[in-house]
Amino acid sequence: MERDSRIFIAGARGLVGSAVVRRLRQEGYDNLLAPTRDQLDLTRQSAVDAFFERERPDYVFLVAGKVGGIHANSTYPADFIRDNLLIQALVIDAAHRFGARKLLDLGSSCIYPRLAPQPMTEDCLLTSALEPTNEWYAIAKIAGLKMCQAFHRQYGFRAISLMPTNLYGPGDNFDLKNSHVLPAMLRKFHDAKASGASEVVLWGTGSPRREFLYVDDLADACLFAMQTYEGEQLLNVGTGEDLAIRELAERVAEVTGFTGRITWDSSMPDGTPRKLLDVSRIHALGWKAKTDLPDGIRLTYQWFLENKTNISSNIVS
């Protein structure tokens, strides 16, 4: 990408999109197209086509989508599959038709089978059944990466796909009903400490193992791949290290200063037993994550404290 290239970040106000914008600006890319959801509804073809026809972006970072944890996926399955299918189909197709030079599509490690061999290589895709608690989102994301491959094969369109592991960082969603595990923990432990509660109850058994990637590291990987990668095969993006959810809870409690009891509600679902990505392929290309988990949790909590008045009115001060 040239410094004056027209670069469209679809989902620029979200967790990943805002990190991509930060990273691009750090590198001197200033000709950024970053419309808000109110300015551009990515689920409406007429709006997407009009935007691409008017703005003619050279490069597209497709990082928009409807995301959430187990509760959100279980409660809104139709929303998750509909919105993500629409966004991907409309943006990828318009990028090709209106002459974009390259597109990067972002998926999720939940596209892999529930019981895939660990760590999961890119070749695990579609080898067995998905995790039921997020299959609607996973199916939509699989369709997106397959659409990129199809456009690559049929039209020679330079569309690439990255599959990141669990993300967290500045700009995350801390809503207790719809957020992912790490920001939800930060919020729970913060509220418990602030209110003087002696106990925090968490879902499941705490035994599943998860890998976590700081969102600014993902943004760095996105820029790296956009500049250097042309393959049709998807690329895993992660740290290559995981830990038990129980251990994560202890680390988050320490960062927030909560010293009470942690109770696990085993009547609630755990989700996939383990999700660890094999990141040897992107490592071989020359990219590695830079932020370790303890530093990332501290940075995320610092951002939460600085912005909590704007996040939600019911956060305990």
Contact between residue 78 and residue 137 where contact means Cβ atoms under 8 Å apart = no
17 assigned to a ligand binding site? yes
214 in active site:
no
| Residue 31 marked ligand-binding | no
Q: Is 107 annotated as a binding residue?
A: yes
Q: Is 165 annotated as contributing to ligand binding? A: yes
- How far apart are alpha carbons 217 and 89 in whole angstroms? 27
- Least Cα distance to 60 among 159, 150, 130, 135 occurs for 159
How many beta carbons lie within 10 A of that of residue 33, not counting itself?
Answer: 19
Say if residue 180 carries a ligand binding annotation: yes
How many Å apart are CA 34 and CA 27, to the nearest integer? Answer: 17
Question: What does the CA dihedral 309, 74, 123, 11 come to, rounded to 10 degrees?
Answer: -40
Consult the annotation and say whether 166 binds a ligand: yes
Residue 109, marked binder: yes
12 marked as part of a ligand binding site: yes
**11 marked as part of a ligand binding site:** yes
Is 16 among the annotated ligand-binding positions? Answer: yes
* 106 annotated as ligand-binding: yes
* Cβ atoms 60, 100 nearer than 8 A: yes
SS3 content of the chain, % helix, strand, coil (to 5): 45, 15, 40
What single letter denotes the amino acid at residue 89? A
CB contact at 8 A, 213 and 239: yes
Residue 269 in tokens: 């679902």
Q: What is the DSSP string of 196-263?
A: T-SEEEEES-S--EE-EEEHHHHHHHHHHHHHH---SS-EEES-S--EEHHHHHHHHHHHHT--SEEE
203 is known to lie in a ligand binding site: yes
Asked, as a colleague might, if the bond just before 119 is cis with ω within 30 of 0, I would say: yes
Q: Which two tokens stand for residue 296?
A: 């990332």
* Closest by Cα among 140, 133, 169 to 65: 140
The single residue of 29, 112, 137, 301 carrying the catalytic annotation is 137
Q: Where is the binding site for substrate, in residues?
A: 188, 203, 210, 270
Q: Where is the binding site, in residues?
A: 11-17, 106-109, 141, 164-167, 180, 188, 203, 210, 270
Q: Where is the binding site for NADP(+), in residues?
A: 11-17, 106-109, 141, 164-167, 180
Active-site amino acid positions: 137
